[in-house]
Structure 1
Amino acid sequence: MTLSCFKAYDVRGKLGRDLDANVLRAIGQGLVAARGARSVVVGRDVRASSERLAAALIDGLTSAGADVRDIGLCGTEEVYFATDHYGADAGLCVTASHNPIDYNGVKLVGAGARPLSPADLDAVREAAEAALAGFAPSPAPGDVTPADPRDAYVERVVSFVEPGALGPLKVLVNAGNGAAGPTFDRIAAALAKAGARVEWVRLHHAPDPSFPNGIPNPLLPENQPVTGDAVVAQGCDLGLAWDGDFDRCFFFDHEGRFVPGEYVVALLAGAFLARAPGATIVHEPRVEWATRAAIAAAGGRAVRARSGHAFMKAAMRDADAVYGGEMSAHHYFRRFMSCDSGMIPALLVLAHLSATGRGLADLVGEMRAAFPSSGEINFRVADAEAAIARVEARFGAEACARDDLDGMSLEFADWRLNLRRSNTEPLLRLNVETRGDAGLLAARVAELTALIEGME
């Protein structure tokens, strides 16, 4: 049996079609066989299927001889933290994040919360497929121990800011009925105890496996007004919203406007370099001019990496970078095992607003004006190669620079494009940015759309 639920970076699929309890049990057995893991951290999100699937995963791990620390309902980043905190050989979070309600999956890391390489993941898949065909339990099964690393995790997250310097601010937080609520409450309590002057307005806060307000995916435009409108209605200074396993955090200014991810990366890059002049920042090449300008202005060193958590984390470690960010709202931190977190960027943005005395709309408005961007535009095309070739034929010779690190990036004097295949979906993704010219942006997007769709 071929396990189609193994994707580029993790395990993900439709319940009953791509994965079930038997598959999760085999993944646990395969992880031990492929990685030699003897101690494993397991956590899960709030989905109705997650508790059952996590139990099957734990059964597979222990039947293969591994000891398991079960940390229960949590965010993916808490599994990352616990894997390192407990010195475990691996960590697994049963989660489908922002996928539809009839999906689930597993996010996996190795010792020290290091990502598994494609070859590592292939080895786990092959071992899991072998386990499904036939598995001999270990004569010495492992033990299961409930564990709660949250206090230590909260201490690490809060250490990124000076709580007494936060505020005064009124902040709306939308947990989307995912896993974020209980963890955030512990963070908010720790901040308040240390003197933070932040008033929190909670929205859709309680974890609910039925997701009565829809699957939490704030990146989708149709999901953004609920947070933005609440920010305005409550008179908040800004808003925060998380996805289901809260490894991504999204921002809204005081007028309820969604802040595109590339500007958050630029904002955090500048904030880090203000505290660590000359430090290295990792970014991806889809949209980069605002980030590179912020890094250059603060005297930092910019390093490009392919988008995707495995590539970003590897680049973070290789470059000893203090911070790395993606426009998709994944943010990585050296003092957090070079892993992504949705809670740390929330606190850092609050700290930056408190320190500067400026609002998010003001700070981001400057970047929007200097480097307007299209946002990621997705195309479903019959022949991706032909579409890329048409764009290359039209613009390739005119480009003053080209970069093929992640798709095709072409740079011109006053505008730039990146065109790449999705790592996880059958899509062609386009991003365009300009130097302060919204009219040029619209014209290039229209021309490129026609080329990609074969209308020119």
Structure 2
Amino acid sequence: MTQLTCFKAYDIRGKLGTELNEEIAYNIGRAYGQIYQPKTIVIGCDIRLSSEDLKQAAIKGLNDAGVNVLDLGMTGTEEVYFGAFHLDVQGGIEVTASHNPMDYNGMKLVRENARPISADTGLKEIQALAESGEFADVVTKGTTGKYNILPEFIEHLMTYIDPAKIRPLKLVMNAGNGAAGHVVDAIEAKFKQLNIPVELIKIHNEADGTFPNGIPNPILVENRESTRHAVLQHGADMGIAWDGDFDRCFLFDEKGQFIEGYYIVGLLAQAFLLKQSGEKIVHDPRLVWNTFNIVEKYQGEAIQSKSGHSFIKEKMREHNAVYGGEMSAHHYFRDFAYCDSGMIPWLLAISVLSETQQTLSSLVEGMIEKFPCSGEINFKVADTQLTIQKIFDYYAEQKPAIDHTDGVSLDFGAWRFNVRASNTEPLLRLNIESRADQNPKPMQDYVDELTRLIQG
């Protein structure tokens, strides 16, 4: 029995050839089919050069397990999520490695109603069966047909805006290497049909699996310049850039400035609470004060959850929350089966821009001034738990308020920080924020103090 190293906490991801290949993809499809025994599932893939072959191998495995497959073609992860809850099917698979380098690929798996399959909800069982290869004999094999989900997906996206209320706007759309391009084109056509006065300036819109515009990951500072430049060049109201499977989107204001995901959580909470006060908003514990402030101001209820998509989705279902946001640019929506989407956030943002008649910078500048943050800082350390204990001991005599929802958060009143071990890499992740009105100290002082402590 070969041990498979491509199975991670939330999905499947590995280096092509050694950690993930067509034989492994077949076994994963076969194992998924045998364990869950769905009648039909949807499957799609990103633009990577290896994705189509891996998808076909997984389809063969599913068919051999007796599962019917609807092949959605080249899609983003959220199109598979949408198919999994919108169509009469019992699950879905997206072949993608999102923002990983070109020589990687992977898969994201969901059950009926797009419920996530992660390490604690079935992924380990799929791994064990895929490793052993002890597959049951199946009398009737499944069939495969092609299905175009795009028109129905676009119709769903339009339910998040009121076309009559959208004011004239100019938006830069950076599809990275084109994975999101087909959706951008379809939205553009829909806007024209509905007379929505929004002009889309499309860059890197053509699908190209050789990644001519670099790894599709706008979190990397070096990947932001093309969006920033296009916003300034065209005098756009906002810039939008996506990652490789476009389940995360990143926003730039009209000055070309990249907006930290933390403040977008506040902006989207505001968008929902403007429509309906009293709604519940789920957030992660890394940075919280701005979210609390917005949710309180617009009469909502803030609910804290551990970071990570399976935890956020579970907490949203438990509380029937309308929206959940992570500072990592993952945004989740009740009307989207509690799944994350990279298309809904910017549509909501143009709603808020229209409703408030403000610019994006003026909407978030107040948040940034009031609650400055460090952004996420990652440290490579030999022992994450030992380092966390060291930090804990250092600040003990200051008697901060302590929260253990995810890693450890220490709150000193005028400033706070969260430090946690990464779920996916051997890293310690640090986030710091402060209350500007109570705090004479610059953010960099806190960053320097904690950096010395961690690296000391």
Question: TM bucket by the smaller chain?
Answer: over 0.9
Deviates more, 1:236-245 or 1:389-398: 389-398
Q: Which of residues 443, 446, 455 is equivalent to 1:444?
A: 446
Stretch deviating more after TM superposition (393-402 or 83-92): 393-402
Moved more, 64-73 or 396-405: 396-405
Aligned to 2:23: 22
Secondary structure at the counterpart of residue 159 of structure 1? helix
Alpha-carbon offset, residue 178 of structure 1: 3.4
1:165 Cα offset (Å): 1.8
Cross-structure match for 2:8: 7
Instruction: Name which of structure 1's ranges 381-390 and 208-217 shifts more when overlaid on structure 2.
Output: 381-390
Q: Which runs of 4+ in 1 moved over 4 A?
A: none
Correspondence 1:234 to 2:234: yes
Number of the residue aligned with 2:90: 89
Show CA shifts across 1:29-65 (max 9, x none): 1111222222111000000000000000000000111
Contact conserved, 1:434 with 1:440, CA < 8 A, in 2? no
Specify the alignment match of 1:126 in structure 2.
Answer: 128
Distance 1:364 1:339 in 2: 25
Are the aligned partners of 2:217 and 2:242 in contact in 1 as well (CA < 8 Å)?
yes
Normalised by the size of structure 2, how large is the TM-score?
0.97
Aligned partners of 1:318, 1:194: CA distance in 2, in Å? 36
CA contact (8 A) 1:178 1:245 kept: no
User: For residues 335-350 of structure 1, what are the structure 2 equivalents within 5 Å?
Assistant: 335-350=335-350
Q: Deviation at 1:398? A: 2.1
Identity within the alignment, %: 48
Unmatched 5+ stretches in structure 1: none
State the aligned residue count. Answer: 452
1:373 is aligned to 2:373: yes
Does the 8 Å CA contact 2:34/2:135 hold for their aligned counterparts? no
In the TM superposition, residue 394 of structure 1 has moved relative to its aligned partner by: 1.2
CA distance in 2 between counterparts of 1:376 and 1:217 reads 15
CA contact (8 A) 1:399 1:410 kept: no
Partner of 2:123: helix, strand, or coil?
A: helix
Q: How does 1:254-403 map to 2 (within 5 A)?
A: 254-403=254-403
SS class of match (1:172): strand
For the residue of structure 2 that corresponds to 1:388, the secondary structure is helix
* In 2: Cα distance, 1:8 partner to 1:371 partner: 32
Measured after TM superposition, the shift of residue 137 of structure 1 is: 4.6
Q: 1 CA distance for matches of 2:394 and 2:445? A: 14
Partner of 1:151: 151
Per the TM alignment, residue 136 of structure 1 is displaced from its structure 2 partner at its CA by 4.9
Given residue 60 of structure 1, which amino acid in structure 2 is its aligned partner?
G
Report the equivalent of 1:138. 138
> SS at 2:62's partner residue?
helix
Query: Retained in 1: the 8 A contact 2:173–2:184?
Result: no
> For 1:304 and 1:87, how far apart are their aligned partners in 2?
33
Report the Cα offset of residue 191 of structure 1. Answer: 2.2
C-alpha offsets along residues 159-187 of structure 1, whole Å, 9 cap, x if unaligned? 10012322211110100113100012112
- Whether the aligned pair in 2 keeps the contact of 1:45 and 1:178 (CA below 8 Å) is no
Q: Show the 5 A alignment for 1:153-172.
A: 153-172=153-172
Do 2:129 and 2:135's aligned partners in 1 also have CA atoms closer than 8 Å?
A: no
CA deviation map 1:122-150 (0-9, x unaligned): 1111111122xx54552211000101121
TM-score between both structures, scaled by the size of structure 1 = 0.97
Q: Deviations over 1:224-252 (max 9, x none)?
A: 11211111011111100011111001000
What SS does the aligned partner of 1:311 have? helix
Q: Give the 5 Å matches for 1:51-66.
A: 51-66=52-67
Question: Which amino acid counterpart does residue 20 of structure 1 have in structure 2?
Answer: N
